[in-house]
Amino acid sequence: MTKKQRSVLSYFHWAFALTAIGLALGAFVGWQSTGTMGGAATTLFICAVLGVLEISLSFDNAIVNARKLQDMTPVWQQRFLTWGIIIAVFGMRILFPLAIVAIATKVSPLAALNIAIFEPDTYAHIMEGAHVSISAFGGTFLMMVGLTYFFDEEKDVHWISALERRMVRTSVRGIEVAIVLIVVLIFTSILHGEEATTFLYSAVYGLVTFLAVEVLGELLDQRQATMSAAARGGFGAFLYLEVLDASFSFDGVIGAFALTKNLFVIAIGLGIGALYVRSLTIMLVEKGTLSEYRYLEHGAFYAILVLALIMYLQTTMEVPEVITGLAGASLIIVSLAASIKYNRRHGADELEAGS
């Protein structure tokens, strides 16, 4: 094993350790619920599959997180990587689904927890019934994230030049909002009755949330900056990343019900995946991978746009999670290959220029 390989693996030591604990806990849950070794093994396997599902769906999330973290102060970086992972695992994988059940059934959070534990089929049915509003909200937020990146007038590195240069040239205030609203109206016209109304309202809430987070984050960071020049990239960026992670997690939480209806198994499996996303984020920041591979970031934001469209499509048809994961992973792999090709070509040019 080379030194470089060891340094890469070192970022995942905690993830490996907690994976072992998580899988053991998953097997225990399976044993408790079935009383058989077969049930324990099956639950352990489901936890592992859910972890892989979360990683495949959130790889682009790690790249976007790394991009934002580069502009944050070390203090807020550490806060996001500690408190952020706690919010991601417990907040979005346990509390958020319970909140949906509590709101949908108009019961207390404790009663929602009882439904999740003792009536898993009812719990899963309620969560799946909320897929239109969840997909519309999350898809809209992610689409705004992707479009804002490509319509940025200060963006000077382009992967698909013909498209991206045109987007930068045609960038005017509010063009991202206009595009999102047009797409929302198209999907609203496809849906019917109550689903169409739910989709429209949820999409608008997603749009308002994105704009509110942007404005609030800017105000908070400006206030911190007036107190200390070193405070830039503080709570505002932290808030943005938390909402972004929530939008990414919607798809995984809903898709997990295809494998199990057990709240705790879902939380363990998706939590394992979230740990690897965190480790990957740290590695990307500390090793400067985004600057080394110039198109990797582009691939991640294209993947975000694809995920947003898939979330919209899921309101009209069933889209297998494997397609969602492969679509994002493929774009990132292609962008990585393009980055390597660029580095080789320009590295050779520099050698020729120096000879």
Yes or no: say if 101 and 115 are a contact pair by the CB < 8 Å rule.
yes
pLDDT of residue 200: 94
What was the pLDDT predicted at 229? 44
Q: Residues 137-164, buried b or exposed e (16+ Cβ, 10 A)?
A: bbbbbbbbbbbbbbbeeeeeebbeeeeb
98, 120, 124: which is closest to 111 by C-alpha?
A: 98
Cα 267 to Cα 43: distance, rounded to the nearest angstrom? 12
Alpha carbons 309 and 165: distance in angstroms, whole number: 22
CA-based Rg of the chain, rounded to a whole angstrom?
21
Distance between CA atoms of 225 and 154, rounded to whole angstroms? 22
The distance in angstroms from the start CA to the end CA of the chain is: 34
- Looking at residue 120, its amino acid is P
Q: What is the mean pLDDT of each run of 10 residues along the chain (355 residues)?
A: 56 87 90 86 88 77 80 80 76 76 78 84 80 87 88 84 86 86 94 91 90 74 51 67 74 71 83 85 81 85 88 86 78 89 73 44
The continuous run of DSSP H or E covering 183 comes out as: helix 175-190
The confidence score (pLDDT) of residue 201 equals: 92
Name the token pair of 215: 């404005």
The Cα–Cα gap between 247 and 141 comes to 7
